[in-house]
Amino acid sequence: MRHSLEPGARRTRGVPGCTAIIIRKRSQNLNCLHVFPLQEWKSLEILAHIKTRKQAAVTMSKRKAKDSHLTVGDCVSQAQRLLRDRFCRQQLPAGPAGVEPQHKHLLELLRRTAVHGESNSVLIVGPRGAGKTMLLNCVLKELLEDSEVKKNVLLVQLNGLLQTDDRVALKEITRQLQLENVVGDKVFGSFAENLAFLLEALKKGDRSSSRPVLFILDEFDLFAHHKNQTLLYNLFDISQSAQTPVAVVGLTCRLDVLELLEKRVKSRFSHRQIHLLSPLGFERYLHCVRQQLSLPPDVPERRFSQEWNASVEALCEDKMAEAALKKHFNSSKDFRSLHMLLMLALSRVTVSNPTIRPADLLEASRLCTADAKANIVHGLSILELCLIIAMKHLNDIYDGEPFNFQMVHNEFKKFIQRKSHSVHNFEKPVVIKAFEHLQQLELIRSVDGSSATKTQKEYQLMKLLLGHGQIMEALQKYPQCPTDVKQWAVSSFG
């Protein structure tokens, strides 16, 4: 147990006297208090902003409903606005649907840090779109509703995508703790001094009298790639010794994230993990769809919203739409991809088509599941298509061995001589240009990248990145495909 020095003793040390006061809540030094105003959590502000906006919309529509009727256009645009906010901004739901136990666990954990000054570390693990951030934000929202806590807690949010190394991360931490004026580039230049200062500041406190700090590390696995994992080591080290109370919350989609940590880092981690592997059934999924799409009764107008909700109900009952949803559900259960689907369906709602119909959903699902490679193949010229067929034959004959341009050209020439009526012979350079276009589209890839510069381009070994089935399927739908080319593709020997 290390205890911080008495305040008086601290001040006598001379060096920026406020080091430890930063996180002291009951500091006697009044001068220092106003230097560090409360860290405002920005997303909370936004939440509040949304709330007021929503309320404003509600009151507005109420008032309008009394005065006059909104036109269909206004209704549609208001409904669009509301639903778009839901699908695109990842607005927080009222409660954590389906993850209540995890929610309770995390809330309890963070509350202990915030109120009782206990240090903790936890990882939230779950696949992309499983609702990790949603869960955390819900918990934080609830936690910070308590004004005592809100006044007390400092929040630091880092993202592995943004803070790509420890130096940047450290800068960001200082910034978020609003210590720049103390640190300043002039006083401390180097990374080491900066780190030492922060650590000192965090270590100085003890658990009874320091302001707790919550560290949120989004994309946690990326932090593990930082050199020596200095940041993680220090954070975890503080979290498991009786210094300033900190809670380190990591969010990651990698199940094997612990393997990435060095031994010394791992041993300091509490090994607390919260898994979000939602066992969502199709019934629940359908329920979510309904919930996500439905409008509140008075927004934008009673009659419109009733009609809308009825149409949503009808949509979920519809057999075809249900099949499409089932297909989508089977490919991925997460909310992100559902939002994408619903967003596509929603975008088809216009004034002339003011409700959401099953046809819209089917179209959206078609767009979502379209095979991108087949789409690209459909846009190729006949010559390029012939080359792909030649490659397919080579793959069949040589059992997937890589090939070079010369072999493909040979195969193509054989076809021209023997069977072709519709395709003429092309000069070799023209064929090479077509071949290079395929490479540019990444439909074929050179096998060894490094030696590619040494060999002639005709003899570079290539691999086809399309499957047999994909080619045949794409060929079936190719617009105005000559019959002889089609037959050549089907025939078993080139």
Residues 273-302 that bind other proteins (CB under 8 A): none
Nearer to other proteins, 14 or 429 (CB): 429
Containing 476, the helix (H) or strand (E) segment is helix 468-477
Q: Please, what is the minimum distance in Å from the beta carbon of residue 138 to other proteins? A: 16
- Of residues 152, 426, 463, 481, which one binds other proteins by CB under 8 A? 426
Restricted to residues 387-406, the positions that interact with other proteins (CB under 8 A) are 404, 406
- Of residues 310, 367, 416, 452, which one binds other proteins by CB under 8 A? 367
Q: Edge-to-edge strands of the sheet including 213-218? A: 154-159, 213-218, 246-252, 120-125, 273-275
Burial class (CB within 10 angstroms; exposed 0-12, middle 13-18, buried 19+) of 207: middle
- Of residues 149, 441, 447, 472, which one binds other proteins by CB under 8 A? 441
- Among the listed residues 268, 209, 267, 204, the one whose alpha carbon sits nearest the alpha carbon of residue 235: 268
- Of residues 4, 119, 163, 210, which one binds other proteins by CB under 8 A? 163
Contact region with other proteins (CB under 8 A), list: 85-93, 114-122, 178-186, 297-305: 85-93
Rounded to the nearest angstrom, the gap between the alpha carbon of residue 446 and the centroid of all alpha carbons in its chain is: 31
Matching residue, tokens 């919350």: 249
Question: Token pair for residue 370?
Answer: 């379209």
Q: Does 469 bind other proteins (CB under 8 A)?
A: no
Contact region with other proteins (CB under 8 A), list: 16-24, 98-106, 206-214, 378-386: 378-386
Are 284 and 293 in contact by the 8 Å Cβ rule? The answer is no
Restricted to residues 200-239, the positions that interact with other proteins (CB under 8 A) are 221-222
Nearer to other proteins, 321 or 338 (CB): 338
Q: Please, what is the minimum distance in Å from the beta carbon of residue 235 to other proteins? A: 18
Nearer to other proteins, 87 or 308 (CB): 87
Contact region with other proteins (CB under 8 A), list: 95-103, 271-279, 292-300, 366-374: 366-374
Q: Quick count: other Cβ atoms within 10 Å of Cβ 82? A: 17
Q: Does 178 bind other proteins (CB under 8 A)?
A: no
Q: Does 161 bind other proteins (CB under 8 A)?
A: yes
Contact region with other proteins (CB under 8 A), list: 12-20, 62-70, 94-102, 155-163: 155-163
DSSP 65-96: HHH-PPPHHHHHHHHHHHHHHHHHS-PPPSS-
Containing 397, the helix (H) or strand (E) segment is helix 382-397
Restricted to residues 337-356, the positions that interact with other proteins (CB under 8 A) are 337, 340, 343-344, 347-348, 350-352
CB-hemisphere CA count at 13 Å for 2?
Answer: 13
- Among the listed residues 276, 397, 400, 275, the one whose alpha carbon sits nearest the alpha carbon of residue 333: 276
Q: Does 423 bind other proteins (CB under 8 A)?
A: yes
Contact region with other proteins (CB under 8 A), list: 81-89, 186-194, 274-282, 307-315: 81-89
Contact region with other proteins (CB under 8 A), list: 33-41, 61-69, 190-198, 454-462: 454-462
Rounded Cα distance, 113 and 246, in Å: 7
Site size toward other proteins, by CB under 8 A:
73
Q: Does 119 bind other proteins (CB under 8 A)?
A: no
Rounded Cα distance, 217 and 233, in Å: 13
- Of residues 8, 14, 279, 429, which one binds other proteins by CB under 8 A? 429
> Strand locations in 30-143, DSSP E?
120-125
Q: Please, what is the minimum distance in Å from the beta carbon of residue 247 to other proteins? A: 22
Determine phi and psi for 336, rounding to 5 degrees: -60, -50
Q: Does 379 bind other proteins (CB under 8 A)?
A: yes
Are 123 and 250 in contact by the 8 Å Cβ rule? The answer is yes
Q: Does 447 bind other proteins (CB under 8 A)?
A: no
Nearer to other proteins, 18 or 235 (CB): 235
Rounded Cα distance, 295 and 311, in Å: 11
Restricted to residues 58-77, the positions that interact with other proteins (CB under 8 A) are 73, 76-77
Write the CB contacts of 162 (distance below 8 Å, at least 6 apart in sequence): 168, 172
Nearer to other proteins, 296 or 379 (CB): 379
Nearer to other proteins, 9 or 161 (CB): 161
Restricted to residues 21-50, the positions that interact with other proteins (CB under 8 A) are 42-43, 46
Rounded to the nearest angstrom, the gap between the alpha carbon of residue 222 and the centroid of all alpha carbons in its chain is: 14
Rounded to the nearest angstrom, the gap between the alpha carbon of residue 191 and the centroid of all alpha carbons in its chain is: 30
Q: Does 430 bind other proteins (CB under 8 A)?
A: yes
Nearer to other proteins, 114 or 474 (CB): 474
Nearer to other proteins, 5 or 465 (CB): 465
Q: Does 420 bind other proteins (CB under 8 A)?
A: no
| Cα-only R_g, the chain | 31
Q: Does 164 bind other proteins (CB under 8 A)?
A: yes
Rounded to the nearest angstrom, the gap between the alpha carbon of residue 388 and the centroid of all alpha carbons in its chain is: 35
Q: Does 456 bind other proteins (CB under 8 A)?
A: yes
Is the Cα torsion angle 75, 79, 82, 88 positive or negative in sign?
Answer: negative
Nearer to other proteins, 20 or 125 (CB): 125
DSSP 3-61: -PPPHHHHHHT-TTTTTTGGGBSS-S-HHHHTTSPPPPPHHHHHHHHHHHHHHHHHHHH
